[in-house]
Structure 1
Amino acid sequence: MGSGSAIRGSRVGAGPMGEAERGEAAPRIRVAFYCANKHQVVPSFSHEAQIPDEWDCPRCGFPAGKDPENPPAPPKTEPYKTHLAYVKERRSDADGQAILEEALAKLRAERAAMSAALKPLND
Protein backbone atom coordinates (compact mmCIF):
# COMPACT_ATOMS: atom_id res chain seq x y z
CA MET A 1 0.00 0.00 0.00
CA GLY A 2 1.45 3.31 -1.02
CA SER A 3 1.10 6.56 0.77
CA GLY A 4 -1.54 8.89 -0.61
CA SER A 5 0.72 11.92 -0.20
CA ALA A 6 3.62 10.63 -2.32
CA ILE A 7 4.50 12.67 -5.38
CA ARG A 8 5.36 10.39 -8.26
CA GLY A 9 7.38 11.29 -11.33
CA SER A 10 9.01 14.32 -9.76
CA ARG A 11 12.39 14.89 -8.23
CA VAL A 12 13.21 16.66 -5.01
CA GLY A 13 13.61 20.38 -5.51
CA ALA A 14 11.67 20.54 -8.76
CA GLY A 15 9.01 23.19 -8.57
CA PRO A 16 6.68 24.71 -11.07
CA MET A 17 9.55 26.69 -12.61
CA GLY A 18 11.81 23.63 -13.06
CA GLU A 19 15.39 24.43 -14.20
CA ALA A 20 14.71 28.15 -14.68
CA GLU A 21 14.54 28.46 -10.90
CA ARG A 22 18.25 27.67 -10.62
CA GLY A 23 19.43 30.41 -12.91
CA GLU A 24 21.36 30.26 -16.17
CA ALA A 25 23.79 27.45 -16.86
CA ALA A 26 27.49 28.32 -17.10
CA PRO A 27 28.78 28.88 -20.64
CA ARG A 28 30.11 25.64 -22.11
CA ILE A 29 32.45 24.57 -24.89
CA ARG A 30 32.36 21.14 -26.54
CA VAL A 31 35.66 19.55 -27.58
CA ALA A 32 35.98 16.43 -29.76
CA PHE A 33 38.45 13.68 -28.78
CA TYR A 34 39.39 10.67 -30.93
CA CYS A 35 40.78 7.29 -29.81
CA ALA A 36 42.83 4.69 -31.71
CA ASN A 37 39.63 2.70 -32.43
CA LYS A 38 38.21 5.69 -34.36
CA HIS A 39 35.64 6.45 -31.65
CA GLN A 40 34.71 10.08 -31.09
CA VAL A 41 33.70 11.52 -27.73
CA VAL A 42 32.59 15.13 -27.32
CA PRO A 43 32.48 16.17 -23.66
CA SER A 44 31.54 19.69 -22.67
CA PHE A 45 33.73 21.90 -20.50
CA SER A 46 33.27 25.23 -18.83
CA HIS A 47 34.76 28.19 -20.70
CA GLU A 48 37.06 28.82 -17.73
CA ALA A 49 38.21 25.20 -17.44
CA GLN A 50 41.55 24.04 -18.76
CA ILE A 51 40.91 21.54 -21.56
CA PRO A 52 42.96 18.33 -21.08
CA ASP A 53 45.16 16.98 -23.88
CA GLU A 54 43.70 13.48 -23.50
CA TRP A 55 40.31 12.08 -22.50
CA ASP A 56 39.32 8.47 -21.80
CA CYS A 57 37.09 6.96 -24.49
CA PRO A 58 33.87 5.73 -22.81
CA ARG A 59 33.39 2.98 -25.43
CA CYS A 60 36.76 1.22 -25.34
CA GLY A 61 38.69 2.85 -22.48
CA PHE A 62 41.65 3.87 -24.66
CA PRO A 63 43.05 7.38 -24.34
CA ALA A 64 41.59 9.84 -26.86
CA GLY A 65 43.31 12.95 -28.24
CA LYS A 66 42.18 16.05 -30.10
CA ASP A 67 43.81 15.14 -33.44
CA PRO A 68 41.63 12.66 -35.39
CA GLU A 69 44.54 11.72 -37.69
CA ASN A 70 47.00 10.96 -34.85
CA PRO A 71 45.14 9.56 -31.81
CA PRO A 72 47.20 8.50 -28.77
CA ALA A 73 48.54 4.96 -28.86
CA PRO A 74 46.64 2.40 -26.80
CA PRO A 75 48.29 1.54 -23.49
CA LYS A 76 50.62 -1.43 -23.61
CA THR A 77 49.35 -4.18 -21.37
CA GLU A 78 51.72 -6.78 -20.05
CA PRO A 79 50.49 -10.27 -19.26
CA TYR A 80 49.95 -11.28 -15.65
CA LYS A 81 53.14 -12.44 -13.97
CA THR A 82 53.25 -14.89 -11.12
CA HIS A 83 55.39 -14.43 -8.04
CA LEU A 84 57.76 -17.06 -9.41
CA ALA A 85 58.21 -15.10 -12.65
CA TYR A 86 59.26 -12.01 -10.67
CA VAL A 87 61.68 -14.08 -8.57
CA LYS A 88 63.21 -15.57 -11.73
CA GLU A 89 63.78 -12.05 -13.07
CA ARG A 90 65.76 -11.12 -9.95
CA ARG A 91 67.77 -14.31 -9.41
CA SER A 92 69.91 -16.50 -11.63
CA ASP A 93 69.61 -20.30 -11.71
CA ALA A 94 72.80 -20.55 -9.65
CA ASP A 95 71.36 -18.24 -6.98
CA GLY A 96 68.18 -20.32 -6.90
CA GLN A 97 70.13 -23.56 -6.55
CA ALA A 98 72.19 -22.10 -3.68
CA ILE A 99 69.04 -20.95 -1.85
CA LEU A 100 67.43 -24.36 -2.38
CA GLU A 101 70.50 -26.19 -1.02
CA GLU A 102 70.58 -23.89 2.02
CA ALA A 103 66.88 -24.49 2.73
CA LEU A 104 67.25 -28.27 2.32
CA ALA A 105 70.28 -28.34 4.62
CA LYS A 106 68.33 -26.41 7.26
CA LEU A 107 65.35 -28.76 6.90
CA ARG A 108 67.56 -31.86 7.17
CA ALA A 109 69.26 -30.44 10.27
CA GLU A 110 65.87 -29.76 11.91
CA ARG A 111 64.66 -33.29 11.09
CA ALA A 112 67.88 -34.80 12.46
CA ALA A 113 67.49 -32.78 15.68
CA MET A 114 63.84 -33.84 15.93
CA SER A 115 64.62 -37.52 15.42
CA ALA A 116 67.48 -37.29 17.97
CA ALA A 117 65.11 -35.76 20.49
CA LEU A 118 62.48 -38.48 19.86
CA LYS A 119 64.98 -41.39 19.94
CA PRO A 120 65.13 -41.66 23.79
CA LEU A 121 61.31 -41.80 23.88
CA ASN A 122 61.24 -44.76 21.48
CA ASP A 123 63.82 -46.82 23.49
Structure 2
Amino acid sequence: MTGGNAIRGTRVGSGPAVGENERGEAAPRKRIDYWCANAHHSRPSFALDAEVPEEWDCPRCGLPAGRDEANPPSARRNEPYKSHLAYVKERRSDEDGMKILDEALAKLRERKGR
Protein backbone atom coordinates (compact mmCIF):
# COMPACT_ATOMS: atom_id res chain seq x y z
CA MET A 1 0.00 0.00 0.00
CA THR A 2 1.48 3.32 -1.01
CA GLY A 3 0.81 6.57 0.73
CA GLY A 4 -0.22 9.77 -0.89
CA ASN A 5 2.64 11.73 0.66
CA ALA A 6 5.18 12.68 -2.03
CA ILE A 7 7.98 13.62 0.40
CA ARG A 8 7.80 10.45 2.44
CA GLY A 9 11.23 9.10 3.37
CA THR A 10 13.07 12.39 2.87
CA ARG A 11 14.27 14.88 5.41
CA VAL A 12 14.76 18.60 5.44
CA GLY A 13 18.17 19.59 4.12
CA SER A 14 18.82 16.40 2.21
CA GLY A 15 19.29 16.11 -1.49
CA PRO A 16 21.39 17.76 -4.14
CA ALA A 17 19.57 21.10 -4.04
CA VAL A 18 21.04 22.05 -0.66
CA GLY A 19 24.62 23.05 0.00
CA GLU A 20 27.03 25.28 -1.86
CA ASN A 21 24.60 25.71 -4.72
CA GLU A 22 22.15 27.53 -2.45
CA ARG A 23 24.55 29.21 -0.04
CA GLY A 24 27.33 30.05 -2.44
CA GLU A 25 30.95 29.05 -2.13
CA ALA A 26 32.58 29.09 1.28
CA ALA A 27 35.23 31.74 1.90
CA PRO A 28 38.80 30.46 1.75
CA ARG A 29 39.91 29.48 5.25
CA LYS A 30 43.06 28.81 7.23
CA ARG A 31 43.34 26.69 10.36
CA ILE A 32 45.43 27.94 13.27
CA ASP A 33 46.78 25.71 16.08
CA TYR A 34 46.33 26.75 19.72
CA TRP A 35 47.47 25.03 22.95
CA CYS A 36 46.37 25.72 26.53
CA ALA A 37 48.25 25.13 29.80
CA ASN A 38 46.49 21.74 30.13
CA ALA A 39 48.05 20.65 26.80
CA HIS A 40 44.69 20.68 25.00
CA HIS A 41 45.02 21.30 21.27
CA SER A 42 42.40 23.16 19.25
CA ARG A 43 42.38 24.20 15.58
CA PRO A 44 39.75 26.85 14.81
CA SER A 45 39.46 28.07 11.25
CA PHE A 46 39.56 31.70 10.18
CA ALA A 47 38.95 33.46 6.89
CA LEU A 48 42.18 34.18 5.02
CA ASP A 49 41.70 37.92 5.38
CA ALA A 50 40.64 37.80 9.08
CA GLU A 51 42.90 39.02 11.86
CA VAL A 52 44.04 35.97 13.85
CA PRO A 53 44.01 36.49 17.64
CA GLU A 54 47.11 35.68 19.72
CA GLU A 55 44.97 33.89 22.32
CA TRP A 56 41.90 31.67 21.98
CA ASP A 57 39.75 30.21 24.76
CA CYS A 58 40.22 26.45 24.99
CA PRO A 59 36.91 24.74 24.14
CA ARG A 60 37.66 21.87 26.57
CA CYS A 61 38.72 23.64 29.78
CA GLY A 62 38.17 27.37 29.15
CA LEU A 63 41.78 28.40 29.83
CA PRO A 64 43.46 30.80 27.43
CA ALA A 65 45.31 29.01 24.63
CA GLY A 66 48.26 30.40 22.69
CA ARG A 67 49.93 29.63 19.38
CA ASP A 68 53.22 28.50 20.95
CA GLU A 69 52.90 24.88 22.10
CA ALA A 70 56.02 25.10 24.31
CA ASN A 71 54.84 28.26 26.13
CA PRO A 72 51.05 28.34 26.49
CA PRO A 73 49.62 31.39 28.31
CA SER A 74 49.03 31.05 32.02
CA ALA A 75 45.54 31.02 33.47
CA ARG A 76 43.96 34.40 34.15
CA ARG A 77 43.91 35.32 37.80
CA ASN A 78 40.42 35.60 39.20
CA GLU A 79 39.99 38.21 41.88
CA PRO A 80 38.14 36.78 44.87
CA TYR A 81 34.84 38.31 45.89
CA LYS A 82 35.28 41.21 48.29
CA SER A 83 32.60 42.27 50.70
CA HIS A 84 31.71 45.88 51.40
CA LEU A 85 33.58 45.61 54.70
CA ALA A 86 36.76 44.49 52.92
CA TYR A 87 36.66 47.58 50.71
CA VAL A 88 36.05 49.83 53.73
CA LYS A 89 39.01 48.26 55.54
CA GLU A 90 41.22 49.06 52.55
CA ARG A 91 40.29 52.75 52.80
CA ARG A 92 40.25 53.20 56.58
CA SER A 93 42.62 52.32 59.39
CA ASP A 94 41.49 50.66 62.62
CA GLU A 95 41.86 53.99 64.46
CA ASP A 96 39.56 55.70 61.94
CA GLY A 97 37.04 52.90 62.39
CA MET A 98 37.09 53.26 66.17
CA LYS A 99 36.56 57.04 65.91
CA ILE A 100 33.57 56.58 63.59
CA LEU A 101 32.14 53.87 65.89
CA ASP A 102 32.55 56.10 68.98
CA GLU A 103 30.80 59.00 67.19
CA ALA A 104 27.90 56.75 66.14
CA LEU A 105 27.53 55.31 69.66
CA ALA A 106 27.59 58.81 71.18
CA LYS A 107 24.78 59.90 68.83
CA LEU A 108 22.72 56.81 69.75
CA ARG A 109 23.21 57.42 73.48
CA GLU A 110 22.27 61.05 73.06
CA ARG A 111 19.05 60.11 71.23
CA LYS A 112 18.16 57.50 73.81
CA GLY A 113 18.74 59.91 76.66
CA ARG A 114 16.14 62.37 75.34
Determine if the TM-score, normalized by the shorter chain, exceeds 0.5: yes
Q: Which runs of 5+ in 1 are unaligned?
A: 114-123
Q: Distance in 2 between matches of 1:80 and 1:21?
A: 51
Where 2:62 maps in the other structure, the secondary structure is coil
Taking structure 1 as reference, are residues 71 and 112 closer, same or farther at Cα in structure 2, changes over 3 Å only? same
Where 2:76 maps in the other structure, the secondary structure is coil
Equivalent pairs, count: 107
1:42-72, Cα deviation, whole Å (9 max, x unpaired): 1100001010111111111111110000011
Which is helix-richer, 1 or 2?
1
Where 2:46 maps in the other structure, the secondary structure is strand
Taking structure 1 as reference, are residues 9 and 112 closer, same or farther at Cα in structure 2, changes over 3 Å only? farther
Amino acid at match of 1:31: I
Q: Which runs of 5+ in 2 are unaligned?
A: none
Q: Residue 80 of structure 1: CA displacement?
A: 2.2
1:30-50, Cα deviation, whole Å (9 max, x unpaired): 001111111111110000101
Q: Distance in 2 between matches of 1:44 and 1:26?
A: 11
Q: Which residue of 2 aligns with 1:51?
A: 52
Q: Residue 16 of structure 1: CA displacement?
A: 4.7
Q: Which residues in structure 2 correspond to 1:1-123 (within 5 Å)? A: 9-10=11-12, 16-19=16-19, 20-113=21-114
Q: Distance in 1 between matches of 2:112 and 2:11?
A: 76
Q: Distance in 2 between matches of 1:59 and 1:41?
A: 9
RMSD: 2.2
Bigger Rg over Cα: 1
Runs of 4 or more above 6 Å deviation: none
Calculate percent identity across the aligned residue pairs.
Answer: 57
> TM (normalized to structure 1)?
0.77
> TM (normalized to structure 2)?
0.82
